[in-house]
Amino acid sequence: MKKVVILGGGVGGTIVANLLAKKLRPEEAEITVVDKTGKHVYQPGFVYVAFEHKKPEKLVRDERRLLRKRVKLVLGEAVKIDAEGKQVHLADGTVLDYDRLVVALGARLTPDELPGYKEAAHHFYSLEGSMELRKSLEAFQGGKIVVTVASVPYKCPPAPSEAACQLDYYFTKRGIRDKVDIHFLSPLSRVFPLEPVNPVVEQVFAKHHIRSTIFFNAESVDPEKRIVNSIEGESIPYDLLIMVPPHRGAKVVEESGLGDRGGWLPTDKFTLRTKAHADIFALGDCTDVPVSKSGAAAHFQAKVIAESIVADLRGEPATARYDGHVMCYCDAGYHKGISMSFDYEHPPVPPPLGLKDWMGKRFLNRVYWMLVPAGRV
């Protein structure tokens, strides 16, 4: 029997496993997911843990309960991918053979990469980070908050500007907005990563007195002086620093010699086969595919990979292609949101800001568990 091994039980890996279990007969393939925690985490909810008192436990589910019964779940950390021998090695010594491998290991937060980061910065890119930020915001009575990113790429590119909007809304609700100066620093030539949407976000920032500085690529943080310095030579003071941590690709990819300089896995942007090995697929945050690192991208990519593996195992031509589709919602506070949908050929159309997309985001947050990991949508 053929063996399909999927590394990572996050958004992408779980959908691939469930779709394969639906499409392939049990005698056609054994499907195994390897995950180091066995917990599936809904990361878009981190923002609400920091800014809205969302309970952290609401964002975590047992991976076993999200997988179809016939999918085997192995709890363990993948430490080596032997692409020539078609084997994966786990930290406890287990070795898994595969006919097709799917790498869905997400991105790795690497706070050590920016001098001063660990001592000074807060973030909302992990459950623990979001809880710490929540406490610091509660204690904050006024002063200057800087919101920025340590480096690019990072997952969910709109999240930092969403956080700036959430901060404004948070302090407005607390009645001390006039005591808080919010300063957003962007590494790009504009505030928002997607150019067609930038004017909408700039308007929101102007209306809510969120200051911005562009071309600010962080070089270091001075925790004593409370200053963040840029490669461009600027130094910006802060009382509270909210900074998306540096990101790299998965450690096992790097250590197996399969990653690029950032540790990202070189992957064909249409077929989602890795460039060096046609029997290894990759999706989501761990790849170098030129789209936003997002759950939405992982979701759409998972369908292409599942179709291609079914075709491969049945000896049929694999014709499925990923078109670069990403769809996302941003919560701008005040019950207003925007949505964006785009692909390789079609940039997003500037969306109106309103209640409908705010509700869209809230709805997705609720129905995620029912619909997305199972691959129902």
Ligand X SMILES: Cc1cc2nc3c(=O)[nH]c(=O)nc-3n(C[C@H](O)[C@H](O)[C@H](O)COP(=O)(O)OP(=O)(O)OC[C@H]3O[C@@H](n4cnc5c(N)ncnc54)[C@H](O)[C@@H]3O)c2cc1C
Q: Binding residues for ligand X, per CB under 6 A?
A: 7-13, 34-37, 43-44, 46-47, 77-78, 104-106, 124-125, 155-156, 159, 250, 252, 284-286, 293-296, 298, 328
Alpha-carbon distance values, 243 to 121, 124, 164, 208 (Å):
6, 8, 11, 20
* 222 three-class SS: strand
Of the two residues 227 and 253, which places its CB atom closer to ligand X in the complex? 253
Residue 177 amino acid letter? R
* Measured distance CA(34)–CA(72) in Å, rounded: 8
Of the two residues 89 and 208, which places its CB atom closer to ligand X in the complex? 89
* Measured distance CA(97)–CA(87) in Å, rounded: 4
CB 238, min distance to ligand X, A? 20
* Measured distance CA(239)–CA(56) in Å, rounded: 26
CB 76, min distance to ligand X, A? 7
Answer yes or no: are the C-beta atoms of 129 and 135 closer than 8 Å.
no
CB 286, min distance to ligand X, A? 6
Taking only Cα atoms into account, the Rg of the chain, rounded to an integer number of angstroms, comes to 21
* Measured distance CA(220)–CA(231) in Å, rounded: 9
Answer yes or no: are the C-beta atoms of 309 and 20 closer than 8 Å.
yes
* Measured distance CA(351)–CA(357) in Å, rounded: 9
Of the two residues 191 and 286, which places its CB atom closer to ligand X in the complex? 286
* 41 three-class SS: strand
CB 236, min distance to ligand X, A? 22
Q: How far is CA 215 from the centre of its chain?
A: 23
Of the two residues 92 and 119, which places its CB atom closer to ligand X in the complex? 92
Of the two residues 152 and 215, which places its CB atom closer to ligand X in the complex? 152
Nearest residue to ligand X, by Cβ distance, number only: 10
Of the two residues 7 and 197, which places its CB atom closer to ligand X in the complex? 7
CB 159, min distance to ligand X, A? 4
CB 256, min distance to ligand X, A? 10
Q: How far is CA 368 from the centre of its chain?
A: 15
Of the two residues 122 and 219, which places its CB atom closer to ligand X in the complex? 122
Element at 207 (helix H, strand E): helix 198-207
CB 293, min distance to ligand X, A? 5
Of the two residues 228 and 297, which places its CB atom closer to ligand X in the complex? 297
* 271 three-class SS: coil
CB 12, min distance to ligand X, A? 3
Cβ within 8 Å of residue 107, ≥6 positions away? 154, 155, 247, 248, 249, 250, 285, 286, 293
